[in-house]
Chains A and B, each alone.
Chain A
Amino acid sequence: MDARLRWRKFVSNFMLAMTGVCAVVSVLVLFFILGYLLFNGGTSINWDFFTKLPKPVGETGGGMSNAIVGSAKILLLASLIGVPIGFLGGVYLAEFSGKGMASVVRYAADLLNGVPSIVIGIFAYSLMVLPMKHFSAYAGSFALSLMMIPITLRSTEEFLKSVPRMLREGAMALGASKWKTIATVIVPAAYRGIVTAILLALARVAGETAPLLFTAFGNRFDSRGWSQPTATLPVMIYTYAVAPYEDWHRQAWAAGLVLLGLILVINIVARTILSRGIAVPRS
């Protein structure tokens, strides 16, 4: 074996080992983030965090109960708006539409998907906050729903399309009308994938801060109903992280842990559901 070959073999093994290092480093970053949050956030979480309201500036203690509830409310409403639009739009694309309309809708959805979240915030501010004359959970939910729609729509379309023809044709052979087929056969068959997509969309918007900055604004108290400014976890994390108070930093870590924990749990659940069913089509 000549020297050149030995060299090439060495280079080969070395470079491939390097790629392994790259992969390991990338994954380690995730564990580092989780670990750091667990350590700093875990030591800061206490019962107060979940049950108390924020205290006046400079005083220690208090919690983020209003932000936790606020985030939950906004996410609920965002889903109630975004999921039906995305889902039914996806049904249209998969089942009813002609080529032309389909391309237009898909193009619009992809465009919407690529809009930076801060620009979505601008849009929601002009559309909802200004006419309503106040910041509200409605505006925040609207902004987040805009980000959920494209994911839900494209995924619904893909999963519905991937349902085997057999099922479709079988139902129609039995005399079911188109919409009955869709409702009772096709959607249930694609059910897993669609639920996964909704969960992933939810996880994506749960951590969004920028669109909430000028829509839901913020609240030191609990917000009643949906038409008042609302505190949310991501915005609280931002506010507390850039401030000088040690106690606020502590709470920011705790909030970060809660938020990330929630998002990761949703992601893991969604992907596990999916892996038992149909493969994920990459968007």
Chain B
Amino acid sequence: MKKLALLALGVLAVCAVVLADNPLLINGAGATFPYPIYSKWFDTYHTKFPNIQFNYQSVGSGAGIKQVTEGTVDFGATDGPMNDDQLKAYQDKHGFGILHFPTVLGAAVPTYNIAGVNASLNFTPDAMAGIFLGKITKWNDPAIAGVNKGVKLPAADIVVVHRSDGSGTTYIWTDYLSKVSDEWKGKVGKGTSVNWPVGLGGKGNEGVTGLVKQTPNAIGYVELIYAAQNNIPYGSVKNAAGTFVKADLASVTAAAASTAKEMPDDFRVSITNAAGKNAYPISSFTWLLIPSKFSDAGKRDAIKGFLKWMITDGENQVEALSYAKLPKEVIEKEKKAIDKVQ
């Protein structure tokens, strides 16, 4: 017994000594949508500044908003901007506000797993709403087949896959569906967690991609990079101007073009179903949620330093992962906004 106790003490002592030189750890949590680029950024930043570690957990935008409001993480991340109630709740709880900082532009794409179909299917807004409402149940339904002549679609049941956790990607997707379908808007609405009429739930963008990949005849919505990195086909969506557009750097950038100049000061804006001939209709900004006041000066400076790096050097890494760079006007505005963090 004594020996065991001494051993335990010894281990603890060693730990304490070895870990005496503490790098600064900053914890964040939130959206899975931008997780690939965030994990790349934080890894690169840590190599650049070995004394600073950004630990980001990809748990979904809903959890990001909740945990940063509770104060259990230092910053959050979301693709569905906090609404006024949530902002007020934060203000009431902490006595100061929380700021949104756009990081990249991304796209939510419809990805599917149909035997023999590797092509990029076309989806009209009505077809998309119909599928997710559970009204269009078979792949060879005329609403889908009609705009995909030349592709052999099976008479199989469509397996809808959505998010089981609170998700900004869900917010983007339901925001789009609410704009293009009154039925969707009335029946389900938009949000990070909605009452899905049909479908299986996967956890995170990762979970949805995994489910679609494994389940024949499945369709799900994920961020572009998840479909690309896993080599699963994704479709084109008909935009407001009537063209079928596939998500890529150009079409996502085009979606942001019109709002770039009129970006509100708090950076909260929706760019789904944007105008523009080549705009991809299910694009979105994604944001880091940074408290406007920090009691720990070290953390504050580290975060501000990261933000400054992010909008300059960091932006150079995004295109490799199929995210689009922020428009110049937005970057300029953000540079000034960083000073608001105290």
CB distance from A30 to the nearest CB of B (A): 26
Which of these binds chain B: A17-25, A92-100, A116-124, A223-231? Answer: A223-231
Measured between beta carbons, the chain B residues less than 8 angstroms from A228 are 25, 27, 55
Q: Mask for B217-231, Cβ within 8 A of A = 1, else 0?
A: 000000001100110
B55 and A219 contact, CB distance less than 8 A: yes
Q: Which of A225, A242, A243, A244 has the most CB of B within 10 A?
A: A244
Q: Mask for A47-74, Cβ within 8 A of B = 1, else 0?
A: 0000000011110000000000000010
A229 and B27 contact, CB distance less than 8 A: yes
Given A220-B39, A243-B207, A244-B209, A130 contacting B57 (CB threshold 8 A): no
A134 and B230 contact, CB distance less than 8 A: no
Residue of B nearest to A242 (CB): B207
Measured between beta carbons, the chain A residues less than 8 angstroms from B23 are 224
Which residues of A80-108 are within 8 A (CB) of B?
A: 80
Given A217-B57, A242-B203, A243-B210, A135 contacting B8 (CB threshold 8 A): no
Which of these binds chain A: B69-77, B134-142, B174-182, B246-254? Answer: B69-77
Which bucket holds chain B's interface residue count? 35 or more
Q: Answer whether residue B162 sits at the interface, using C-beta atoms and an 8 A cutoff.
A: no
Which bucket holds chain A's interface residue count? 20 to 34
Given A135-B72, A219-B55, A243-B207, A224 contacting B22 (CB threshold 8 A): yes
Q: Which of A130, A135, A224 has the most CB of B within 10 A?
A: A224
Measured between beta carbons, the chain A residues less than 8 angstroms from B209 are 243-244
Given A129-B72, A242-B202, A221 contacting B25 (CB threshold 8 A): yes
Residue of A nearest to B11 (CB): A76
Measured between beta carbons, the chain A residues less than 8 angstroms from B71 are 133-134
Task: Give the dominant DSSP class at A's interface.
Answer: loop
Name the contact of A225 in the complex, choosing from B11, B19, B36 (C-beta under 8 A).
Answer: B19
B55 and A244 contact, CB distance less than 8 A: no
Q: Mask for A167-178, Cβ within 8 A of B = 1, else 0?
A: 000000000000
CB distance from A78 to the nearest CB of B (A): 12
Q: Answer whether residue B213 sits at the interface, using C-beta atoms and an 8 A cutoff.
A: yes
Measured between beta carbons, the chain B residues less than 8 angstroms from A57 are 35-36, 39-40, 58
A220 and B42 contact, CB distance less than 8 A: yes
Name the contact of A223 in the complex, choosing from B25, B40, B203, B204 (C-beta under 8 A).
Answer: B25
Measured between beta carbons, the chain B residues less than 8 angstroms from A256 are none
A242 and B210 contact, CB distance less than 8 A: yes
A245 to B210, CA, bound (A): 8
Residue of A nearest to B206 (CB): A243
Which residues of A234-257 are within 8 A (CB) of B?
A: 239, 242-245
B36 and A134 contact, CB distance less than 8 A: no
Residue of B nearest to A130 (CB): B70
A85 to B25, CA, bound (A): 32
Measured between beta carbons, the chain A residues less than 8 angstroms from B230 are 244-245
Measured between beta carbons, the chain A residues less than 8 angstroms from B39 are 56-57, 220
Q: Answer whether residue B53 sits at the interface, using C-beta atoms and an 8 A cutoff.
A: yes
Measured between beta carbons, the chain A residues less than 8 angstroms from B11 are 76
Interface residues in chain B, defined as those with a beta carbon under 8 Å from any beta carbon in chain A: 8, 11, 15, 19, 22-23, 25, 27, 29, 35-36, 39-40, 42-43, 46, 53, 55-58, 70-73, 202-204, 206-207, 209-210, 213, 225-226, 229-230, 321
Return 11 A-B CB contacts under 8 Å, by A number: A56-B39, A57-B58, A80-B8, A134-B71, A135-B27, A220-B42, A223-B25, A225-B15, A239-B206, A242-B204, A244-B226
- Beyond the given pairs A228-B27, A242-B207, A243-B210, 11 more chain A to chain B contacts, judged by CB atoms under 8 angstroms and listed by A's residue number, are A56-B36, A56-B39, A57-B39, A80-B8, A130-B70, A134-B27, A135-B27, A221-B46, A243-B207, A243-B209, A245-B230
